[in-house]
Structure 1
Amino acid sequence: MAILYDWYENPGESDDSEEKGLHPRIFLNGKVGTDKLCRMIHGRSSLSVGDVKNAFEMLAQICGEELREGREVHIEGLGYFAPILRSTQKVTRSTKNKSSKMELKTIGFRPDARLRGELRGAKVSRSKYARHSESLSAVEIDRRLKEYFANHDVMLRYDFQEVCCMTRTTANRHLRRLLEEGKLKNIGKRMQPIYVAAAGYYGVSCDVLRR
């Protein structure tokens, strides 16, 4: 399977520019957990699943101990791990007790050349489905809903997502707004809403009464 991606607008660019620049962002194809990794290694070696899992646990423990000592850890074929610090406030040369003004930020990772080599020739493909929300005005949303209700009597949250190319969070926000404005009505349950166009909106006559 190819690496899926889509294009996103570059943040921080001026809104008055003619056209914003775009950058590609990957959509992860799921996640591989420790249990599956252990089974996969077991299938390719003479080690039992328990042996592999125990080795993982020991590796994580020993890496933690070495990182606490300020050492870089290199796992051949995988990469380099090192602790990264950050200051908790502005620090200058005249700041007193500088050591109390810092903390561990994260653990940095730099992939090994061998691991990078495993990705050579990887295929990439643009996702068929939008994973981010389009920037639609209220007028454009109303237009799309009018087209939808011309052929449908009810709408689910998923339908609204598809029609407006929005994420679930953004779709729920707009649906709440449309309910408050009286343009949509929920004829279902609060946790299982079924939306219909309110009388006078989206091509529905004012004389039509909805339950």
Structure 2
Amino acid sequence: MAINYLMEECSRNLATSTRKGLIPRVYRKMNITIGKLVSRLAGGSHIRKTELKLAIELVREQIILELLDGNSVTLDEFGTFSVSAATDKAVTNPDEIRSASIYVKNVNFIPSPRLMKRMETARFERKTK
């Protein structure tokens, strides 16, 4: 098990030399969907696949509902989901803005210390083009 990477030119090299810098870019092998994840977790049992898929979908929907209610959601030892907000208009007085002009800027995920510790064991392999 290894993470593949490619080396590519850094587009924002702040160095004063004229030489371009290189940075590693993770090359994703595939995107694991809920269906693929369930298949990998379930092994071969059809009933177990159905139950796993339903459980994942229920957790996903509840996370969405909690975020829509202004809560953050921590999945212990995995990480925390939260929402950030923005507006198109810069204001100096809070009375100048209405709630209708505020929107969700992003759904953020902060990995737990345990997840980050596990990621320290990652192995990297250079992918040839």
Q: TM-score range by the shorter chain?
A: 0.7 to 0.9
Equivalent residue number for residue 26 of structure 2: 26
CA distance in 2, matches of 1:128, 1:48: 39
Equivalent residue number for residue 101 of structure 1: 101
Write the letter of the residue equivalent to 1:57.
E
Equivalent residue number for residue 124 of structure 1: 124
Aligned length: 128
Equivalent residue number for residue 10 of structure 2: 10
Equivalent residue number for residue 64 of structure 1: 64
SS across alignment from 1:122 = coil
TM-score, normalised on structure 1? 0.53
Equivalent residue number for residue 189 of structure 1: none
| 8 Å contact kept, 1:91–1:98 | no
CA distance in 2, matches of 1:105, 1:119: 27
| 8 Å contact kept, 2:13–2:20 | yes
Equivalent residue number for residue 113 of structure 1: 113
Write the letter of the residue equivalent to 2:104.
L
RMSD (Å), alpha carbons? 2.6
Equivalent residue number for residue 37 of structure 1: 37
Tell me, which stretches of 5 or more residues in structure 1 are unaligned?
A: 130-211
| 8 Å contact kept, 1:83–1:108 | yes
| 8 Å contact kept, 1:91–1:101 | no
Q: How do 1:176-195 and structure 2 match up within 5 A?
A: none
CA distance in 1, matches of 2:100, 2:9: 39
Cα distance change, pair 55–12 in 1 and its aligned pair in 2 (3 A):
same
CA distance in 2, matches of 1:92, 1:83: 23
1:27 shift after superposition: 0.5
CA distance in 1, matches of 2:84, 2:63: 15
SS across alignment from 2:35 = helix
1:60 shift after superposition: 1.1
Tell me, which stretches of 5 or more residues in structure 2 are unaligned?
A: none
CA distance in 1, matches of 2:37, 2:53: 9
Equivalent residue number for residue 54 of structure 1: 54
Equivalent residue number for residue 77 of structure 2: 77
TM superposition outliers: structure 1 runs of 4+ over 4 Å = none
Write the letter of the residue equivalent to 2:20.
K
Write the letter of the residue equivalent to 2:92.
T
Cα distance change, pair 89–78 in 1 and its aligned pair in 2 (3 A):
same
1:50 shift after superposition: 0.9
TM-score, normalised on structure 2? 0.82
| 8 Å contact kept, 2:91–2:97 | no
1:26 shift after superposition: 0.6
Cα distance change, pair 89–17 in 1 and its aligned pair in 2 (3 A):
farther
Write the letter of the residue equivalent to 2:4.
L
